[in-house]
Each structure stands twice: as structure tokens, then as C-alpha cells.
A and B are shown apart, each in its own frame.
Chain A
Amino acid sequence: MKNVALILVALASQVAQAQGTAASGSSSTALTLFGIVIFTTLLITWWAARRTASTSDFYAAGGNISGFQNGLAITGDALSAGAFLGLSALVFSSGFDGLFYAIGYTTGLPIVVFLMAGKLRKLGKYTFTDVVCSKLGGNGVRIFSACASLTIVSFYLIAQMVGAGQLVQLLFGIEYSLAILLVGVLMILYVAFGGMLATTWVQIVKAVLMLCVGCAIAIMVLAKFNFSFAALLASAVDLHPKGSSILGTSTMAKDPWSAFSLGLAVMFGTAGLPHVLMRFFTVPDAKAARTSVLWAAIFMNGFYALIFIIGFGALSLVRSDGTFLDAKGELVGGGNTAALHLSRIIGGEVMYGIVAAVAFATILAVVAGLTLSGASAVSHDIYGAIFKRRAATEREEFRIVRIATVVLGMFAVALGIAFKGQNVAYMISLAFSIACSSTFPVLLLAIYWKKLTAFGAVLGGGAGIVGSLALTILGPSVWVKVLGNPAPVVPLDPPALVTVPLAFVLCIVGSYMTSTTRAPEGLLSSAKG
């Protein structure tokens, strides 16, 4: 811990130096709250580290998180900075298009509880791979599930790290690489020392802050329009260059196949995200697992409904104020700053500081959850269960997960720096596409279809991953926007409409081609305590 403290002191001094020379719009309130967020989350980690003594504590907080607490933590895990800043920015620029995403994201968690939450808690131990392997035998399916987890987590993590670097640089005037390093060091500390308990409480704190801030902004925006949402929309239409078309759905009408494909990806992708699924192992039983989804659905759906007001509030008030628009009418500081500028307009420096600090806490909470999920796939699913042939001691697995956390954290920092300035928006979409085309079909069939075999699962899930990757590269998000080609080879974006049926069909075909192999009883755990 002394070495860690030294690293943090050195990093803090560099951050302080960077502040002195920063030309960004950071305020003293924002910087003070930024410091409070770091101090509070490290305090939580210190508290959690004293209570994390076993692999059960590390992976699943000992299964002692209540349904309500886990509901808040799922909310914290799922509401990324992109959900808050990104969607309000999309509404600011395009109107209803941003709301289409927000509405889609609310449809995922209900599917999780209807089909999976209770079953996951009953069948699994620490990761969703446990659930798949409780029904299917062999290391092949375990390796596949762990690799699918790592693939999804990696794409999600890179997108979050690049976004984090840009956002922290903008909010607090810290140089990009230093910002990435700061986020990387903090997430490694949370996960390596505090495990799931620290990660959970960081997510809970962040979720509460985000919900409170969202409600406050929405009320303050509506107050400017005599609490009339219709008046807010009328003002937005008057100020946007596209006029009343921002209220329409012409983007979806131009490409209905992509609209349905996006709908499929966000609806079923949530049920395949490893860092969300892992949360169901932190509660005592299936009943608490379901209760946690109920609270998460209420909080998340409520927050996404607030995006209606926050997004159009930003569109109207930031455009009418004009202070934060450049000569071209673009947002000063980049596309994702609409909600930040809105907070400054309606609540001054104090509100801006609070929103900036909440955005930073959001980044930390999401990357911590992702890192824990990825590290668990390495230590529990791959090392513990395969390389040690399920004979790894608890102490050894504990050591490996900490090493995996540090390596994954360094990997995320390196990739975050490598992707600096590049368009990585497609990576979240890709993560959702892979999740709904690989982990979701495999998990669903493993739970409910007795004839699924390990070969079928690997064939279908593998095709889902490869198909998602290939079609995304050939699609508009990468082929046109990243590689600069004039037209996409595959116009469907995201490719879920093709890859989800493909994965299900190949899972079924592969299963009929091979005989059923069931796992012997008692192979859920890799660790022999």
C-alpha cells in the first residue's frame, strides 16, 4: 500500500502541475469536487479492502449485497458517461435521434429479469461462464465463454478509456495521457484491493449522484419553461437550424433495417454483457437478484426519461445563450459537452462543478466494473478452471486475479493512449452486437434448451463474434467513418439483425451434429478452498 500511496502522490503532483498550465475551462469548484470524488472512492476502497479476504469476497462481495443496493450498482454500471453526456449531446445535435437510443436502452433489463436473473443466481457462482459450464462440459466452452467476455469487455473498456481521457482533459485541464493514466491507476486500485465490494459501492455512490444531478437539471430546465415540456420543445424547434424535423424520426425512416437491428442489439445485448451479468452473483439469492433488476429498471428508465428534458433543455438553452457555441455553431470543447454547458447556464460554476465531478465518478465506476469482469474471466474462468485443472487454491486464485487486474488495467491505459483522437464510437455498438450474438444466445440456450452441446455453443457463439466483427468493419461505422471509404460494403449498422439469428441457428445445428455432453456435478467452482 505504501508503494501505491507514493504512485498516487506523484500522480497528484503532476496533475497539480498540469492544472497550473491548463487552458481548459476547469473551475475551482470542479477541481475541489474532483478531489473529493477521488478521496471518497479511495476511502471506500480502503474500507472494502479490509473486508475482502476470500475469492468469494473478491468476485461477488461475499454475496452480501442487498437487492436494493445491487439495483443501484447495476444502474451505476449501466449508465455510462456516454448515456448521460453522449445522449444529451446527440439530442442537442439531432433531436429525437438521441431519444431513440435512450428508449432502446430501457428495454434490455426487463429481458434480463424475465429470462435470466433468477436462473443466473441459482446456477452460477462468480461469472456467467459458470452458468454455461454448469450445463455443458469441457474446457472448450469455458475458454470460449471467457474469451467472449474478454472481447466484449475490451471493446467496451477501450471506448470508455478514450472517452475518459477526452472528458477528464476537458473538465479538469489534465493532459490526455495523464488523464488516462490517472483513471487507469484508480480503477486498478479499486478492483485489485477492494474487489467487488469497492466496485459495488463506487457504483452505488455514482448512481445516487447521477440520479440526483439528473433530477436537479431536469427540474431547473423545466422551471425555465413554466414546467411545460411542450413549451421547451417549441423553443428547441425555433432555435435548431433543422426546425421541426428534429422532432421527427426521419433518420429511422431512411434505414428501417438498421433501426430494427439497433433495437435488437440494445434489447438483447444487455443480457449478454459480462459486467452486468456478474452483478447477479453479489446478492444472497435468486429473489434478491430479481429485486435488484426491479430497482435498476426503475432508476435507469427514470433517468433515460429525464434525457428527454435534459437533451432538449441543452438544445434550447445552450443555443439561445450562445456563449458556448463557436463561429460554426458547434459546441465549445467538443460534441459531448452539451449537458456540461447546460449545467453552467442553469446553475453557474457550482452546478458545472457538480456535473463534472459526477461525470468523472461515472467513468471510474464503469471502468472498475469492466476491469473486474475481465480480470475474473482470466483468473476464475481461464486460469483457475483450465490451467490448474480446477485445483487452484483460493490464495493462488486471489493472487492471479490481482495480477490480471493490473495487467488488464495497463492494457486499457496503453490502448486508451494508442486510440487517442480516433473515432471509437463504434466500439460500444460492437460490444453490444457481440454480446447479443454470442454470450446471450449461448447463455439462453444453455439455461433453457437441454439439447445444446458444447460444440453447438462454441460454433454459434463463435460465429456471432466473428460475424459481428466482420460486418461492423465492413459497415458504415468503420468502413466509412474510420477508414474513409465512400460507401459501406454492408449497409446494416449494427449487424445484430443478421448475427443474432446466425448465432442461434448455428448453436442449434451444431448441437444436433454432436451428442450431448453434460458436466459432472460439482464443477462450478474453480477454487478448492
Chain B
Amino acid sequence: MKSPSSPHEEERLGLGLVLTALQLLVYASFVAACSFNDAFITGLKASNGVPYSFLFGLVVIATGAVLTTVYVAVTNRSEEPK
């Protein structure tokens, strides 16, 4: 088995690492907010009546789907035969 060496594969690894870091950053920020932010701890609501903790939670869920879509679209397109 050969290690990934083509420019495309290196590029995808870079993209994968960047998106992993983004996902980790968003989720770690959410956990940190739940642990240390008073607005989250007390369940403070936004103007629409939904607490900030819920809204950030939905952002985490959406982020996972969006980042996955970006990665799969870019990587699968680069593998299509020309």
C-alpha cells in the first residue's frame, strides 16, 4: 500500500484537517459556553423566546451537516474522471 502522495490526496487531507478543526472549534465553543457562560447556564432567552443554548446547539447540528456537504462535494468532484 502506498501512502497518499498525489497533489489531490494531499489537498484533501488538508481540507479534512481544516474542516475537522472547524468542527472541533464550534463544538468545543458550545461545550465551553454550556459550562462557563451565565446566559447558557441560566437558560436566558433570545428575543424569539428560544434560549441561546438551544440556538447554539442547533448551530452545532447544522455545522456538522454543512461541513460534511462541503467536504464530500469538493472531494468527490475532484475524483470524477475528466
Contact = CB atoms under 8 A, between A and B. Distances in A.
Contacts of B36: 253, 256
Interface string B42-57: 1101001111011001
Contacts of A99: 54, 57
A90 B80 CA distance: 45
Nearest to B15: A114
B69 A247 contact: no
A224 interface: no
B72 A290 contact: yes
Given A110-B68, A263-B28, A252 B61 contact: no
Given A259-B34, A301-B65, A308-B58, 19 more contacts: A106-B61, A106-B65, A107-B27, A109-B64, A110-B23, A229-B50, A233-B49, A233-B54, A234-B49, A245-B42, A248-B42, A252-B34, A260-B35, A263-B28, A263-B31, A294-B69, A294-B72, A298-B68, A301-B61
A267 B27 contact: yes
B72 A113 contact: yes
A172 B71 CA distance: 44
B57 A103 contact: yes
Contacts of A244: 42-43
A293 B72 contact: yes
4 shortest interchain CB distances as A-B pairs:
A230-B49, A247-B43, A248-B43, A256-B35
A249 B24 CA distance: 20
Nearest to B67: A110
A140 B18 CA distance: 34
Given A114-B20, A230-B49, A249-B41, A294 B68 contact: yes
Contacts of A125: none
B26 to A, nearest CB: 8
B41 A253 contact: yes
Interface in B6-20: 12-13, 15-17, 19-20
A339 to B, nearest CB: 19
A253 B34 contact: yes
A109 B23 contact: no
B43 A245 contact: yes
A297 B65 contact: yes
Interface in A94-112: 96, 99-100, 103-104, 106-107, 109-111
Given A100-B34, A106-B60, A247-B51, A114 B43 contact: no
Nearest to A123: B1
A109 B63 CA distance: 12
Chain B interface extent, by class: 35 or more
Chain A interface extent, by class: 35 or more
A74 to B, nearest CB: 12
Contacts of B67: 110, 114
Contacts of B34: 100, 249, 252-253, 259
Contacts of B51: 96, 233, 247-248
Interface in A129-162: 134-135
A179 B13 CA distance: 47
B44 to A, nearest CB: 8
Interface in A308-337: 308
A228 B1 CA distance: 55
A434 to B, nearest CB: 21
Nearest to B12: A118
Nearest to A118: B75
Contacts of B50: 229-230, 233
B31 A110 contact: no
Nearest to A296: B68
Contact of B23 (A107, A245, A293): A107
Nearest to B60: A103
B71 A106 contact: no
B71 A290 contact: yes
A391 to B, nearest CB: 22
Interface string A248-291: 11101100100110010001000000000000000000110011
A484 B53 CA distance: 34
A399 B45 CA distance: 60
A413 B45 CA distance: 47
Interface string A447-468: 0101000000000000000000
A450 B28 contact: no
Contact of B68 (A104, A109, A246): A109
A100 B58 CA distance: 11
Given A114-B71, A115-B20, A249-B41, A107 B49 contact: no
Contacts of A233: 49-51, 54
